[in-house]
Structure 1
Amino acid sequence: MRNGFTADDVGTQTGRRFLVTGANAGIGFEVSRVLAARGAHVVLACRDADKAEAAMNRIRVDVPNADLSFQLLDLADLDQVRDAAKAILSAPRIDVLVNNAGVMIPPRSLTKQGYELQFGVNHLGTFALTGLVHPHVDDRIVVTGSIAHKSGEMDYSDLSASRGYHNWARYQMSKLANLLFLFELDRRLSAAGRATQAIGCHPGVALTELQRHLPLPLRAMTPLASPFFNSAAQGAWPTLQAATGARVQGGDYLGPQGLGEVTGRSGPARAARMARDPNLAGELWLRSIKLTGVDPKL
């Protein structure tokens, strides 16, 4: 690896099992494709079986002997998260859980349990899934953040966004929650004497399906902007480093090394001071237990 990590630096993963959420498109798909090409068994955890099947067929075009399977997972429904966790716990153990799935700046929408969709999917669904299956994960738990977390503020006063909805502010809040969860999870795993580590990453600015909710004029400009941003494959490099990098340690946070952490090879990223605040993280942890009904018991 020279001047940062890319997909070329992913070593053999034969005999290892990865569960990747949101694996049918974008960064999740690229991560799954690279891992399969290195010999891993990849469980594609997605909310749409047809899209997951299509993704597995696409991977097999490049990797004919890809070892793939599917797990139904809808992070917008905590009841279904529990069902998915039961299935995961009944299957062989996982080496790495890659929490990749997320939603970005949709119109105001709610999860099945009535939470604003971005906080509900990006944080609460991820917290619940991880809290239920972490005893089944041997090596690493990857949590996906965003450079948007640096402008986020935690506000628990209106989790259904009934009094007002600003899609960017809610996205920023959900991504700050991801990083608070990441660092608190790693602290608690370490305190419990677990070998499993929590590692964070962010893709910079990658052109993926997450941008589908951008206003039409901005979406129309995407092809013109593409030379200045990461492709989905490039945006996957930090996730691949977090999931497989030999020199990665618990509590690390990884992202692109270019100007503003927007593009480039993967390496150490900067988390806002607020994201590393143990008091904020502890409060979020306790609130998340109450909101999801899931206690990770860490």
Structure 2
Amino acid sequence: MPTYLVTGSNAGIGYHVALQLARTGATVVMGSRSAEKVDAAMASIRSVVPDARLRHLQLDLADLDSVKAAAHELDSLDAVVCNGGVMIDDTELMYATNHLGHFALVGWLMPLLAGGRVVTTGSLRGKKVKDGDDYARSKQDQMLFGFELARRQSAVTSIVNHPGGALDTIRFPVSLLLQDKEAGAWPAVQAVLDPSLRSGQMVGPRVFGLRGEPRVEPVRGQLADVTLAAQVWDRSVELTGVEPA
């Protein structure tokens, strides 16, 4: 059975990604800082999938020493879902968690991932960033990393996804436009499991990119800017000291 690592999997969309992958019989490694929160998430998953194969990996994406130690604890891996993220006022910490930690994690996991997949989770706001939106910038840089990885590294399949308009609670009439986080996990899960997907593609919800079953989306605008992506890559190498290639 395959082994998948999902970062930020103790809550939110990451939890639902872990749950849906656990249903396939795969071993799901749940990367998180908090053992207590992961234990609760595991118990919740096992209440739905009693024979779920789950493991906690201690991982603080904002701490490169923690990221390196976590990567070296694994000895087999078929895909990593770079999902973990925060939206906070501390811009440096947010950028480290949302992007740099994942960039370094993928770099250190490369020896295990040959022939496997790197699935990068972005956001709607990351598609087109306005000045001053630090959260959107952190998510866009993470998405640009996924596309640039596809261009630079042929040993892995690098697929970008976003959850559309996913909220914790959805009620009518909001449900006509948005969806819950269970559905928001579908694009990431498809990015892991669908053998027809190619490196460099992006998966998002079918209905206006906001809700519905996942589909392959065109990569346009800022996300298609190869110069910007190369700049993000070079800056990330400089800041982390890691080259995922």
**TM-score, reference length from structure 2:** 0.93
- Residue 118 of structure 1, CA deviation: 2.4
State the Cα RMSD in Å: 1.8
1:143 alignment partner in structure 2: 120
Match of 1:203 among 160, 163, 166: 163
1:184 aligns with 2:148: yes
Deviations 1:193-241 (A, max 9, x none): x2x2100100001114xxxxxxxxxxxx976665242111100110011
How many pairs does the alignment contain? 243
Residues 225 and 43 (structure 1 numbering): CA distance in 2 closer, same or farther, change over 3 Å? Answer: farther
Q: Which AA in structure 1 matches 2:51?
A: N
1:39 alignment partner in structure 2: 25
Tell me, yes or no, if the aligned pair for 1:142 and 1:198 is still in contact at 8 Å.
yes
1:98 alignment partner in structure 2: 81
Q: 2-side partners of 1:128 and 1:235: how far apart?
A: 25
- Residue 247 of structure 1, CA deviation: 1.3
- Residue 271 of structure 1, CA deviation: 3.1
Q: 2-side partners of 1:265 and 1:99: how far apart?
A: 20
Q: Pairwise mapping of residues 123-134 of structure 1 onto structure 2 (< 5 A)?
A: 123-134=99-110
Moved over 6 A (4+): none
SS of residue matched to 1:94: coil
Q: In terms of Rg, which structure is larger?
A: 1
Tell me, yes or no, if the aligned pair for 1:289 and 1:295 is still in contact at 8 Å.
yes
Q: 2-side partners of 1:199 and 1:252: how far apart?
A: 5
5+ long unaligned stretches in structure 1: 1-14, 111-115, 156-165, 209-220
SS of residue matched to 1:18: strand
5+ long unaligned stretches in structure 2: none
Q: Which AA in structure 2 matches 1:149?
A: G
Q: 1-side partners of 2:17 and 2:225: how far apart?
A: 30
1:266 alignment partner in structure 2: 214
Tell me, yes or no, if the aligned pair for 2:61 and 2:101 is still in contact at 8 Å.
yes
Q: Pairwise mapping of residues 53-202 of structure 1 onto structure 2 (< 5 A)?
A: 53-88=39-74, 91=75, 93-104=76-87, 106=88, 108-109=89-90, 116-137=92-113, 138-152=115-129, 166=132, 169-190=133-154, 194=155, 196-202=156-162
- Bigger share in strand: 2
- Residue 172 of structure 1, CA deviation: 1.3
Q: 2-side partners of 1:265 and 1:86: how far apart?
A: 35
- Residue 27 of structure 1, CA deviation: 1.2
**TM-score, reference length from structure 1:** 0.77
Between 1 and 2, higher relative CO (CA 8 Å, sep ≥ 6) is seen in 1
